[in-house]
Structure 1
Amino acid sequence: MDITPRAVVIPKDTDRLEQGRYGPVFPRTPACYGFTIVADVKPGRAEAIRNHGNTLAKALEGDPHLLAPLKLHYLRWVLFDDDRRFMYQGIFDTDFDKYTEDAVALFTKAGVSTTFENLEGFPEDWRTNPEAFVRFVRERHCPSFVEYGEYPYVTADEIKKALRIKNALSEMLDQLQ
């Protein structure tokens, strides 16, 4: 496996990209797949977004693998412009269509809401209408034009496996001393 750092430029014209069930399939980059959305917060709902973040963190304490079906590397939530706007950034190992379908299924099965419900224009029927969920995200997507990976094209599962091996080797070496 070549782990030479790499960067990929993503074309501005998405008409040339492969089309998935919900629109263009952005290419897998050295940073894997992902998306960034910027959306307006419903008036007075910024604190609900923060609380939802606390709820998510607490749920992950109880079940660290809660979000495992999403094959995530990172999530980042940012409130800005005096809490009037929200940025969601996710980096994951599956394409956008699969991530979206998995997210809707996960939240529906778990019976939990999404913080997106606090955003202007988010569809009330998102649990039964993945197309509306996708449309919301696509309309607010701010695609990157270049992505860089220090360890390119490595999945979250591969990273976790490498860390398990490292820990096992460290334990073994410690026992030999």
Structure 2
Amino acid sequence: MTEATQSAQPERPGMADGVCSEFTVFTKIKPGHADALRKDLDDLRSGSSKEQNRAALNEIGTLHDARHAIFDDDTRHMFASVFDGSWDTYIDDFAKTVVGANFEKIFSHAEGFPGIADPSVKDWFVAHQAPAEFFISSYPDLTVQQIWKNQRVNEAFQAVLDTPEFRAALDDPANAALLATPAFQKLLDEAAG
């Protein structure tokens, strides 16, 4: 995003820690809708919906976590998430996927929800957003994409460690200088840990 584009974006609520930002929305559930909301949330956790959601989240690649809660005697709903990037991009990206359709379904149980395609939906989210008073991430400098890459590299490295060829390389005197370096020893220690 260019500086001009960034400055054109309105100031959005929510705290950030490094690349991670938080988003928490509290809504009033329409009278008599709590059971339907609970069923719709349950549907998201099962079968093909779960697989479609996971595929959309993988495609977008910026969501660290998300959760929904129904509380206050079935009168209120909370959605909270942690994501990478700008608030506007986060909302735009999700609106373009099956997650947008899910938001449409879930938030249709909230009083006053204009619909995910309505131009005023961002204003509605902002009006219902309660920014954290304190927010901290265990990995503030790692995006979801970097975490996934680290996981893939670790899995590949662990697979190499298990090969007979790697074990033979450890025993080969020609590799003694490399194996004795602090960096290589740290690599092995981290792999073992």
1:7-156 equivalent positions in 2, closer than 5 A = 21-24=9-12, 26=14, 28-30=16-18, 32-58=20-46, 59-62=49-52, 64-68=54-58, 69=60, 71-107=62-98, 113-124=104-115, 126-127=116-117, 129-130=118-119, 132-156=120-144
Shift in Å, 1:20 = 5.1
Would you say 1:166 and 2:151 are equivalent positions? no
Shift in Å, 1:148 = 1.3
Shift in Å, 1:83 = 1.2
Give the AA of the match of 2:82. I
Tell me, which stretches of 5 or more residues in structure 2 are unaligned? Answer: 1-5, 168-193
Q: Is the 8 A contact 2:56 2:98 kept in 1?
A: no
Higher helix share: 2
Shift in Å, 1:86 = 0.5
Give the number of equivalent residue pairs.
157
Distance 1:47 1:150, change over 3 A: same
Shift in Å, 1:155 = 0.5
Shift in Å, 1:24 = 2.9
Distance 1:106 1:76, change over 3 A: same
Give the AA of the match of 1:93. D
Task: Deviation per CA, 1:100-154: give whole Å up to 9, x if none.
Answer: 1122222498698331111011114x31x23x11111111111012221222121
Aligned-residue Cα RMSD (Å) equals: 2.7
Give the AA of the match of 2:29. V
Higher strand share: 1
Q: TM-score, normalised by structure 1?
A: 0.75
Q: TM-score, normalised by structure 2?
A: 0.70
Q: Is the 8 A contact 2:84 2:144 kept in 1?
A: yes
Distance 1:67 1:104, change over 3 A: same
Distance 1:108 1:135, change over 3 A: same
Greater radius of gyration (CA): 2
Distance 2:35 2:19 in 1: 31
Which structure exhibits the higher relative contact order, with contacts defined as CA atoms closer than 8 Å and separated by 6 or more residues?
1
Among the aligned pairs, what percent are the same residue? 27
